[in-house]
């Protein structure tokens, strides 16, 4: 049983093939809806092997065939499942052939041929995702390279989180070097120890840019202890890291922020980056968090504060929690469903951070949200439709309060923020998925019928 899938990429064959050989390619191409996580990447496409983790301690091992390695025309891998005492009947090694054909000097046809004991209905969404991801990633890198952004060294905090791990893989496939700033002693060549209380003066030596993502999760019951942990993990470390960036004269400092700046309920007001600060704990927190990067800005470093909306990914955040509920037909709107949801797909968020690194027009606050915010009721309807399930069980307004407390419920579950990406639209930034349905279909492997 086999399947073939192809598409044309708007770049020369040498560049498309080279992308596959760089660190991060496996992570960028792994479908996020599948319970498979990259554990180790191949050192070489000629004879290396890549490992992905499966539930139950099993491993999906892709071994590259040295006899079929023909750059930039082809590479081939055989996929087996390790950890089983014996292979179930019919489960034989998969064979995945990657071909790269010249269309013309600036276009390449990428052809995937998979011989596997799996139905086309399973394989086709995976391959469709891979081809969309490849095309979009290469297009983003091409835009940056036209502006002279290539082969930079970028220090990243929070590189093991949902956003950080995706950003690291994206940057390394673009030919950049990522230094992970970690709390523990370095365990790998790409790590550098970061003492958040007393960072070393040479922490950012040789660094061209900083992306600061680290911070304790905001999700949780809003007790005084939880709020203190959230604030302490952001404000002080950000200020001290900004001071080091200022002394090192790092050209760019990009710091995570949040649309919580606008408060928990602004009604139907359209919130651009020029909107005033709102009310509540998160508004106060974000204001102090953004102010903590001031030492870098005052020294002449270009500082970008990425005010992130509700990130969509089945690997984390709200979608990870909602997907199994909606798949079981147990999803529904929260309260009356009129709350505005300013959302963004994970890969679009990665593109925002990427643009912040290379586009000199980007500075100050930037709303990292899709251009089409939706109400909670519309989000519920679209997610249920993508999963082909009903959404008939509305969640009472007091429901989330049982987990988050009254304040957490107000500022997280029931928050209403109609934020729009005015700064991004001013610089002509393209979104991979400006609409919610197309974003969810891509992330969940559900094609439109």
Read off the pLDDT of residues 406-439 as tens digits, 9 standing for 90 and up: 888 888 888 999 999 999 999 999 999 999 999 9
Q: What local confidence, expressed as pLDDT, does residue 335 receive?
A: 87
pLDDT digits (tens, 9 = 90+) for 282-299: 999 999 999 999 999 999
Rounded CA separation 174/180 (Å): 16
From CA 396, how far away is CA 333, in angstroms rounded? 9
Sorted by where each begins, the domain ranges of the chain are 2-146, 153-444
Identify the band that residue 93 occupies on the pLDDT scale cut at 50, 70 and 90: confident
Mean pLDDT of the region 70-79:
95
Distances (CA, A) of 401 to 260, 281, 407: 18, 16, 8
Question: CB under 8 Å to 423, separation ≥6 — which residues?
Answer: 272, 273, 362, 365, 366, 367
CATH topology of 2-146 equal to that of 153-444?
no
* Tally of CB atoms within 10 A around 83: 12
Q: Which 8-state DSSP code applies to residue 366?
A: E
Q: Are the C-beta atoms of residues 303 and 356 closer than 8 Å to each other? A: no
pLDDT at 398 > cutoff 60: no
Least Cα distance to 358 among 171, 218, 219 occurs for: 171
Instruction: Look at 220 and 57; give whichever has higher pLDDT.
Output: 220
393 pLDDT band (50/70/90 cuts)?
A: confident
Question: What is the model's pLDDT at position 246?
Answer: 98
| pLDDT of the residue at 90 | 39
pLDDT digits (tens, 9 = 90+) for 160-185: 999 999 999 999 999 999 999 999 99
DSSP-derived pairing of the beta strands 310-312 and 343-345: parallel
pTM for the full predicted model: 0.95
Contact between 60 and 36 (Cβ < 8 Å): yes
- Fold classification of 2-146 is Alpha-D-Glucose-1,6-Bisphosphate; Chain A, domain 4 (3.30.530)
Provide the phi-psi class of 208: left if phi over 0, else alpha when psi is between -120 and 50, else beta.
alpha
Q: Is the pLDDT of residue 87 over 50?
A: no
Mean pLDDT of the chain: 93
pLDDT of residue 18: 97
Phi (first) and psi of residue 80, to 5 degrees: -130, 165
Q: What pLDDT score does 56 carry?
A: 76
- In angstroms, the CA 202 to CA 37 distance is 34
Residues contacting residue 435 through CB under 8 Å, at least 6 positions apart: 370, 372
| Fold topology of 153-444 | Rossmann fold (3.40.50)
Angle in degrees, 0-180, between the axes of helices 224-232 and 235-248, rounded to the nearest 10 = 0
**Range of 61-65, 324-328, 345-349 with top mean pLDDT:** 345-349
Q: What tens digit of pLDDT does each residue of 7-42 get?
A: 999 999 999 999 999 999 999 999 999 988 888 999
pLDDT, residue 81, reads 79
- 94-104/74-82 β-pairing: antiparallel
């Amino acid at each position: 049983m086999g399947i073939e899938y192809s598409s044309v990429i708007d770049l020369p064959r040498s560049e498309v093939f080279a992308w596959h050989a760089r660190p991060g390619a496996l992570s960028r191409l792994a479908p996020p809806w599948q319970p498979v996580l990259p554990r180790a990447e191949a050192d070489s496409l000629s004879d290396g092997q890549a490992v992905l983790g499966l539930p139950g301690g099993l491993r999906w091992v892709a071994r590259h065939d040295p006899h079929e390695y023909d750059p930039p025309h082809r590479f081939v891998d055989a996929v087996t499942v390790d950890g089983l005492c014996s292979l179930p009947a019919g489960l034989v090694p998969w064979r995945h052939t990657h071909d790269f054909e010249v269309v013309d000097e600036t276009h390449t046809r990428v052809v995937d041929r998979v011989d596997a004991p799996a139905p086309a209905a399973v394989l086709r969404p995976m391959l469709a995702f891979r081809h969309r991801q490849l095309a979009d990633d290469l297009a983003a890198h091409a835009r940056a390279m036209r502006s002279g952004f290539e082969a930079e060294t970028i220090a990243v905090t929070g590189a093991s989180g949902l956003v950080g791990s995706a950003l690291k893989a994206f940057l390394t496939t673009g030919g950049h070097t990522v230094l992970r700033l970690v709390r523990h002693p370095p365990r790998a060549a790409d790590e550098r120890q970061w003492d958040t209380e007393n960072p070393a003066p040479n922490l950012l030596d040789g660094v061209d840019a900083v992306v600061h993502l680290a911070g304790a999760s905001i999700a949780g019951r809003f007790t005084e202890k939880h709020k203190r942990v959230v604030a302490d993990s952001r404000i002080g470390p950000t200020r001290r890291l900004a001071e080091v960036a200022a002394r090192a004269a790092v050209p760019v400092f990009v710091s995570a922020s949040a649309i919580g700046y606008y408060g928990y309920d602004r009604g139907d007001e359209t919130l651009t980056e020029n909107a005033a600060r709102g009310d509540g704990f998160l508004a106060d927190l974000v204001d102090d968090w953004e102010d903590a990067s001031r030492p870098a800005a005052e020294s002449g470093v270009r500082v970008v504060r990425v005010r992130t909306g509700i990130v969509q990914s089945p690997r984390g955040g709200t979608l990870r929690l909602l997907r199994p509920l909606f798949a079981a037909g147990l999803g529904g709107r929260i309260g009356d469903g009129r709350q505005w949801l300013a959302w963004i797909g994970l890969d679009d968020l990665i593109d925002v951070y990427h643009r912040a690194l290379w586009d000199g027009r980007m500075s100050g606050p930037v709303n990292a949200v899709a251009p089409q915010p939706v109400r909670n009721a519309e989000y519920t309807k679209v997610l249920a439709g993508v999963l082909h399930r009903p959404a008939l069980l509305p969640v009472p307004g007091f429901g989330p309060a049982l987990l988050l407390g009254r304040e957490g419920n107000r500022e997280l579950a029931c928050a209403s923020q109609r934020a729009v990406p005015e700064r991004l639209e001013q610089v002509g930034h393209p979104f991979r998925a400006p609409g919610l349905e197309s974003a969810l279909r891509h992330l969940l492997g559900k094609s439109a019928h």
